[in-house]
Amino acid sequence: MKPSYMPLFEAFSLKSGIQLKNRIVMAPMTNFSSNEDGTVSDAEIEYYARRSGGVGLVITACIYVSPNGKGFPGEFAGDSDEMIPSLRRLAAAIKEKGAKAVLQIFHGGRECPPGLVPNGDVVSASAVASEQNNKGVVPRALSEAEIESIIRDFGATTRRAIEAGFDGIEIHGANGYLVQQFFSPHSNRREDRFGGNIDNRLRFPLAVVDEVKRVAAEHAKEPFLIGYRFSPEEATLPGITMEDTFRLIDELAQKDLDYLHVSLQEFWSVPRRGADESKTRLEWIQERVGHLVPVIGVGAVRTPDDALKALETGIPLVAIGRELIIEPDWVEKIAEGREAEIKMTISKDDQDRLVVPTPLWQTIMRVPGWFPIGD
C-alpha cells in the first residue's frame, strides 16, 4: 500500500464500543431485489457478501418498519418477527466477511407508491403531495395515535435487528422519507404538537431516536450502534435549509449517537440557503458537531485520492456507493497497492462478474447517466 493511503486504513472506535477496522463505509443503496414476501433474496445475500470483505462497515438498503411504509418494489421488510430468520442470514453474510453490519430502517411516508401499501393508503405528516417522486399522490395526514404507533414500529424493528445479529441500525431521516417529512416545512403543515414551529417538527425525529435507543438499551446484550442519516437541504420552497439542519444536528449531537450520516450526491456541494458558500455543506456540519459526534461523508467519492481528500476535511468516515458496485474489491486493491487496477466503468456483460441482482442490474442499464457505462 502507498504510505499516503494509510489514513484510510486506520481503525476507528464508535461511542457504543464497536470498532471499525478502517474508515471506509459501504453506503446504503436500494437494490429492488428482495423476495415478494419481504424476505432477503439469495441474490441479495451474494451481492452484500461480495462487497463486505474490504470495508469497515456495511449499511444495508432501507427496510420498512410498518406495513404502510414500503417505498420500493423489491424492498425487504422489517415489520414482523417472521422476517428475523431472513435478516439473520443477511447479517451473518456481511459479518463473515469482516465488516460490521448495520440495518437501515425507514418508513417511506408520502413517497410510497400506492400499489405497495395496504389499500393504497399513502400517509405522511400532512396531506401535501411530494414534488420529487409520487407527484399527484396526496397522502393522508397521520393521526397522533398512528404517529405514536409508527414510532413504536421503529423500536420493534430495532429489536428484530438485534435478534438477527446486526451490529447496529441507521435511522433513515433523509431523502424525503417519513422522518424527514415530519421535519420539513414543505411536507409538515400540521397544527398539533407534531407540526408548526421547528420545535414541533423535530418532535417525531427525536422521538424515533429516543425509542430506538430505549429498545437497544433493553434488548442488546453486546455493543449496538445507532446512527442517523439526514439530507441537509431541500430544493422545495418551503423546505429544509442549512439553518434548519444546524438545529437538527445540534439536537442529534446530544443523543449519544454513534454517527451522523450526511446524504449528498456530491461530497463537495455548497449550501443553497441558510449558510454561505464559504464552506461545503459537509464542512459546515463537521465544524458544527464533528467534535461531538462522528460524521460520515458521502457523494461521488470514486478514487482513493477522493477518499483521502474527504478525510482531510476532518470527517472520520467516508461512505462509498456506486463505486463499490462497479468495483467490489475497491478497498482490497488499495490495501494491496493495486489502486491502478480499480475499475471506473461497467459494461453490459459485467453482471455475473460483479454479483449484482437482476432487478438492480436492469435499473442500472435502464437509467441514463446513473452509472458510467464503458465497453
Q: What is the rounded distance in angstroms from the CA atom of residue 298 to the CA atom of residue 165?
A: 26
Q: What is the rounded distance in angstroms from the CA atom of residue 53 to the CA atom of residue 323?
A: 15
- Residue 217 in this model has a pLDDT that exceeds 90: yes
Mean of pLDDT values over 24-43 = 97
Predicted confidence (pLDDT) per residue in 302-330, tens digit: 999 999 999 999 999 999 999 999 999 99
Domain ranges, ordered by start, for the chain: 3-366
The pLDDT, as a whole number, for residue 133 is 84
pTM score, whole prediction: 0.98
The pLDDT, as a whole number, for residue 79 is 98
Burial 125-163 (b: 16+ CB within 10 A, else e): bbebebeeebeebebebbeeeebeebbbbbbbbbbbbbb
The pLDDT, as a whole number, for residue 59 is 98
Closest to 364 (Cα-Cα) out of 355, 372, 353: 372
Q: What is the rounded distance in angstroms from the CA atom of residue 204 to the CA atom of residue 171?
A: 12
The pLDDT, as a whole number, for residue 126 is 98
Predicted confidence (pLDDT) per residue in 340-362, tens digit: 999 999 999 999 999 999 999 99
Which residue is catalytic, options 47, 48, 64, 177? 177
Please give the grid coordinates belonging to residue 180. Answer: 424527514
- Residue 137 in this model has a pLDDT that exceeds 80: yes
- Residue 135 in this model has a pLDDT that exceeds 90: no
The pLDDT, as a whole number, for residue 180 is 98
Angle at 216 between CA 211 and CA 219, to 5 degrees: 120
- Fill in the DSSP letter of residue 65: S
The pLDDT, as a whole number, for residue 136 is 87
Predicted confidence (pLDDT) per residue in 46-66, tens digit: 999 999 999 999 999 999 999
- 177 in catalytic set: yes
What's the CATH code, domain 3-366? Answer: 3.20.20.70
Chain Cα centroid distance, residue 233: 16
Which DSSP helix (H) or strand (E) runs through 120? none
- Fill in the DSSP letter of residue 71: -
Question: 374 falls in which pLDDT band (50, 70, 90)?
Answer: confident
Helices (H), strands (E): how many in the chain? 13, 12
Q: What percent of the chain has pLDDT over 70?
A: 100
Q: Residue 325 pairs with which residues in a beta bridge?
A: none
Predicted confidence (pLDDT) per residue in 67-85, tens digit: 999 999 999 999 999 999 9
